Amino acid sequence: MRTSYQRPQAAIAPTFRGAASALAATAALAMAALHLGGNAQAGQEAGSDAEPVRSQALFLTAKRLIVSPGNVLENASVLVEDGKITAVGTDLKAPEGAQAIQGEVICAAFMDPWSTAGFDTGSVNSRDLNAATMATDALDPYGEKAVLEELAASGVLLTRSQVGLASDISGFGAVLRTPSAEVVLEDASMSAAIGAESPGFSPDQFGGRGGPQGFSFGPQSIDPIDRIGQIDKLVSELAAGQKYAEDMAEYEKELAEWKAAIADKEKELEDDFKKAKKAREKAVKDAEEDGEEVKEKKYKEDRRPREPRYDAEKAAFARVVQGEVPMVVHAERALEIRDLLRSTEPFKRLRLVIAGGTSALACKKELRERGVTVIVAPSPANPGGPVGELDPGLSLAAELDAAGVNVLIGTGNASALASRDLPLLAALAVGHGLDRDTALRAITSGPAATFDVADQVGTVKRGHAADLLVLSGDPLSSSSRVLAAISGGAVVPQATK
Amino acid sequence: MSFTTSFQNTRSGRALLSAASRLSMGATVLGAAALFVAPVHASAQVAKTAIKAGKVITLNGEPIENGIIIIEGGRVTAVGSQEDVQIPWDAEVVDQPGMTAFPGFVESHVSRGIDRENETLDVAPFLNVRDSIDPVNFYFEDALRNGIVVMNVQQGNDTVVAGQGMVVKPYGMTVESMMVKPRAGIKMSAAPKRGKSRATQAQALRGAFEDLKRYLDEMVQRKKDGDDYDRREALYQGRELEGEAAKGKALQSEAWTIEGFERIPRGEVDEKQEPLLHVIEGKMPVFMWCGSAADVHTALRVADTNGFTKHMTLVLDNSCWKAAPKIKAAGVSVILEDNLAHRERDPITGEEIETFVPKVFHDAGVPFALSSSTDSNRSLWFQAAQCVAAGIPREAALAAATSVPASILGLSDRVGALKSGADGHVVLFSGDPLSVTSVVEHVILDGVHVYDRSKDVRVQQLTDGTRPPGTVAEEPEEYEGDGEDDSDNQ
């Protein structure tokens, strides 16, 4: 029973001992084709299996090893064992039995900070979500394999995925290891959208992001008054979260005080018990003599403070206002971005991320001062962008970066397939003035840092999870190929054609 | 003292009188109804029945040629060949040398035979299908025709946490008389209910258990606070605290701990929360609907978190076969829908791929039960026959409609096989139960002969066109107008 289309097997080089010197990747590939035996055979068997095989060590070698954007080692190697990077350096030797893979360049896997990959379309397009919704509940391990293969083939092995692109507030997004739908961090972000429209509803000329599936998000089709209302609603949710957090802290404080007071009281009562008992015995005796009922002394104490009523949505926003979870808001227009910045001013610990941000240049100063990150989605399909006003087109990322704003590059499309174009979009941004290292950072270590997974992924460091690419050329060159994609320490067999 | 007693006597006497009058009224109603659904033989009072059949398929060892089944007091007391088994002198004998006796099929999950199912409330474990089962529903009648002897009636799939289901037999005037097992389990759904997405469905399902946990935690906290207060009050007043507080049982869950829960007498738990408490303590089985393979993951995750995986059976859409390895690893049983073949188109090549679902589960070693929940034309015997045609061994195919569902329902010692001690259900087929040319001729439930095809009025109408007396519709009278003059309207 065949369920999914299987690509031809990956061309993985067998162990080349002492071949760490400059062996062109193409040559390595040719040799792999000739010497299909030994480890390559093992790799092939592993490839036909659905579960990634992690036990085998990997030894990756390349002319350039991009540890992090701007930090390059020449003729260096990476050793991967048990899913982790265990060594990075220029003088490493391949251990016995390790599978060797060679290429021109090694870099961290690309991470799309604004994607829907991994989740079922019903949940992605749902409008019935709330702040307490977990996107990971919509994980679809049986989703279209072909899409995930396309993503892997373009080097996008990590995503910060969310559901409810059409929902005002859509709950917690997650960082996923896309090829295996493995969750790296389940509460990586809170997502909201200003002026979102359900996909397929607004015609394409309003221009969403024109993904390959033709889905689009036309912010135009929602009235400006409604958009202001959406901002108000979002801010009031944040305020409710703030209040909830304060009430909780207050309650905990009061409770501690009450407990201490009661403990003191209890001790006092215990100490006085003998006296009290004697007094009572006397009272009982007196009452009996008088033929009356014993009148007990009335006991009084402070009541236990009451816990604020649990509310899942407020609790979620409480985490957001306290800066535990960054909040991604899809907003395109200058007015909305400015309004959003102004009205979220009181929430000092809020970690705001603007997604889309076509007209973000109008507020570049505030964005820089507030430390707001912008996920730019350069769209070659719609010159002029979805808004039209103040739209710098493909140079947005460069201009924001020049203004000192932290820039990431993402795709933001209801179709998971859109994430495939991530490296090309980064390359386009370079073509329009963005610094090459900044562009690479915007799709590797930048998203990892923004969404709190920088200690696991995003850079090639010892101890990090092995989410790596071996490429035939520069990561941001459209003519570079993925020679091997390593996700969580396992070679993704479908990534290489 | 004597005054009180006599007063009570008067009261109970009056109650007796009114009960009697109600009874007589009830009897009239029952009598009228009995005309339509009366047993074929008025044998309800016969305590012993002997069934002689040309062949007895016991599903408990080899079939017996010329076998005898003795049913006493509603239970099978002996099964064997005519040489081995003695027929009691006072037994009513059903002698059918040309027929095949069979233990009857077991329907593991069905949402028919009920008047209307709750699909409004998301979480309603306190409801019970007992209140919506309709004893004269056509489904039960048809079940007899297809040789089904017990069925697990559960609410529909469009829910988050539905009410409790019930195992019944397809014969009886009241729900009580049909009852086999009153609390057969709770229906839940991991697939999105109308208006929900997968994410929010899972959120609601998890939320139901989180709410229960918070409720129990708060209850324990209140109790603890109350006890502590009582102690301080007694200290203050110089009293020794008297009497032992009422005690409950500690929580029995495998996944949850609620410290101090033994302080709560079980009777204090809200009856609306109690059924889910039984679920997490493993006292209440769960039937979890999964509409797609991904839902299986949701179901297993929720069950694992709340410790009821062992007591859960998955009710599957046919697309769920893709999750068979996951289901095998979790060790749960499954109930399949009656459309046994799953078809899909390859998104790239456009090729249509057909999968025979029971074969996938059979090959994976997952215990599976068949169900005929939507269509009487695809009843259990037909599906079991399809399984045999698709290469599943006959024993396994029969088990999927008998012993597997019986074990899912916790009724292995009662139904699914003809053996001593089992419920007195026997179905007499005209030939092999899995043959399309065989029909159900007789059904005996709890030793009572409840179905005889030769007297089945619907079958008669189908085969020779005779309609039962009094059911032929009369020609409608001609409409003569309502007596109003049309000109009034002008």
Q: Residues A315, A251: contact at Cβ < 8 Å?
A: no
At B479 the pLDDT is 73
Residue A271 pLDDT class (50, 70, 90 cuts): very high
At B94 the pLDDT is 92
At B244 the pLDDT is 66
At A151 the pLDDT is 92
Distance CA A116, CA A176 (A): 10
At A379 the pLDDT is 64
Beta strands in B48-178 (DSSP E): 48-56, 64-72, 75-81, 92-102, 105-110, 148-153, 161-168
Residue A297 pLDDT class (50, 70, 90 cuts): confident
At B32 the pLDDT is 38
Q: Using the predicted structure, report yes or no on whether residue A448 has a pLDDT greater than 90.
A: yes
Q: What is the mean pLDDT of residues A161-171?
A: 88
A121 part of contact set with chain B, CB < 8 Å: no
Distance CA B432, CA B384 (A): 12
At B243 the pLDDT is 67
Q: Residues A461, A449: contact at Cβ < 8 Å?
A: no
Residue B68: strand, helix, or coil: strand
At A387 the pLDDT is 52
Q: What is the set of domains in chain B, with CATH numbers?
A: 40-103+417-467 (2.30.40.10)
Bridge partners of B290? B316
Question: Taking the alpha carbons of B217, B223, B227, B233 in that order, is the dihedral positive or negative?
Answer: positive
At A481 the pLDDT is 92
Amino acid, single-letter form, for residue A394: L
CB contact under 8 A, A144 and B236: no
Nearest residue, CB atoms, A299 vs list B225, B232, B294: B232
Smallest CA-to-CA distance from A220 within A356, A419, A392, A398 is with A356
If you count DSSP H runs as helices and E runs as strands, how many of each does chain A have, helices first? 12, 15
Q: Using the predicted structure, report yes or no on whether residue A26 has a pLDDT greater than 90.
A: no
Smallest CA-to-CA distance from A452 within A174, A157, A71 is with A174
Smallest CA-to-CA distance from A119 within A157, A168, A158, A176 is with A176
Name every chain A residue with its beta carbon within 8 A of the beta carbon of B229: 301
CB contact under 8 A, A276 and B196: no
Name the residue with higher pLDDT: B150 or B461: B150
Residue B46 pLDDT class (50, 70, 90 cuts): low
A255 part of contact set with chain B, CB < 8 Å: no
* % of chain B with per-residue pLDDT over 90: 69
Nearest residue, CB atoms, A138 vs list B197, B207, B353: B197
At B13 the pLDDT is 39
* % of chain A with per-residue pLDDT over 70: 80
Distance CA A230, CA B481 (A): 60
Q: Give how far Cα A163 sits from Cα of A21, A170, B199, Å.
A: 46, 7, 8
Region of poorest pLDDT, from A187-191, A231-235, A332-336 = A332-336
Smallest CA-to-CA distance from B439 within B426, B449, B452, B429 is with B429
Residue B64 pLDDT class (50, 70, 90 cuts): very high
ipTM above 0.85, yes or no: no
At A389 the pLDDT is 53
CB contact under 8 A, B323 and A164: no
State both tokens at B20: 């009697």
Query: Could you read off the pLDDT of A456-481 as tens digits, one per residue?
Result: 999 999 999 999 999 999 999 988 99
Distance CA B149, CA B450 (A): 11
Residue A405 pLDDT class (50, 70, 90 cuts): very high
Query: Could you read off the pLDDT of B48-57 as tens digits, one per residue?
Result: 999 999 999 9
**From the CB of residue B465, how many other CB atoms can be counted at a distance below 10 Å?**
7
CB contact under 8 A, B200 and A128: yes
At A87 the pLDDT is 95
Q: What is the mean pLDDT of residues A308-326?
A: 95
At A393 the pLDDT is 73
At B6 the pLDDT is 38
Q: What is the mean pLDDT of residues B143-168?
A: 94
Region of poorest pLDDT, from A374-383, B19-28, B435-444 = B19-28
Q: What is the mean pLDDT of residues A122-139?
A: 90
Q: Using the predicted structure, report yes or no on whether residue A36 has a pLDDT greater than 50.
A: no
Region of poorest pLDDT, from A76-85, A133-142, B19-28, B207-216 = B19-28
State both tokens at A85: 């990077």
Name the residue with higher pLDDT: B278 or B35: B278
At A147 the pLDDT is 85
Nearest residue, CB atoms, B199 vs list A129, A278, A299: A129
Residue A196 pLDDT class (50, 70, 90 cuts): low
At B486 the pLDDT is 56
Instruction: Report the alpha-carbon angle B341-B346-B351, nearest 5.
Output: 80
At A43 the pLDDT is 35
Q: What is the mean pLDDT of residues B293-297?
A: 95
Non-local CB neighbours of B222 within 8 Å, separated by 6+ positions: none
At B33 the pLDDT is 39
Q: What is the mean pLDDT of residues A273-292?
A: 89
At B423 the pLDDT is 95
Name every chain B residue with its beta carbon within 8 A of the beta carbon of A126: 197, 199-200
- In chain A, where the domains are located: 1-109+458-497, 110-244+312-454
Name the residue with higher pLDDT: A219 or A266: A266
State both tokens at A365: 């100063």
CB contact under 8 A, A1 and B197: no
Q: How many CA atoms lie within 13 Å of B264's alpha carbon, on the beta-carbon side?
A: 23
Domain A110-244+312-454 annotated CATH 3.20.20.140: yes
Q: What is the largest CA-CA distance in chain B?
A: 95
Quote the mean pLDDT of chain B.
86
Q: Residues A397, A432: contact at Cβ < 8 Å?
A: yes
At B12 the pLDDT is 40
Name the residue with higher pLDDT: B41 or A117: A117
Q: Using the predicted structure, report yes or no on whether residue B16 has a pLDDT greater than 90.
A: no
Question: Taking the alpha carbons of A193, A195, A196, A198 in that order, is the dihedral positive or negative?
Answer: positive
Q: What is the mean pLDDT of residues B20-44?
A: 42
A129 part of contact set with chain B, CB < 8 Å: yes
Name the residue with higher pLDDT: A5 or B474: B474
Distance CA A479, CA B12 (A): 96
Name the residue with higher pLDDT: A389 or B432: B432
Smallest CA-to-CA distance from B94 within B123, B130, B121, B67 is with B67
Q: Using the predicted structure, report yes or no on whether residue A95 has a pLDDT greater than 50.
A: yes
Distance CA A193, CA A164 (A): 9
A19 part of contact set with chain B, CB < 8 Å: no
Q: Using the predicted structure, report yes or no on whether residue A134 has a pLDDT greater than 80.
A: yes
Q: Which CATH architecture has domain A1-109+458-497?
A: Roll (2.30)
Region of poorest pLDDT, from A313-327, A418-432, B105-119 = B105-119
Name every chain B residue with its beta carbon within 8 A of the beta carbon of A304: 225
Distance CA A327, CA A160 (A): 12
Q: What is the mean pLDDT of residues B147-171?
A: 94
Q: Using the predicted structure, report yes or no on whether residue A86 has a pLDDT greater than 60.
A: yes
Q: Using the predicted structure, report yes or no on whether residue A369 has a pLDDT greater than 70.
A: yes
Residue A191 pLDDT class (50, 70, 90 cuts): very high
Buried b (16+ CB within 10 A) or exposed e, A223-236: eeeebeebbeebbe
- Tell me the shortest Cα–Cα distance from B374 to chain A, in angstroms: 26
The residue of chain B nearest to residue A280, with distances taken between CA atoms, is: B238
CB contact under 8 A, B197 and A119: no
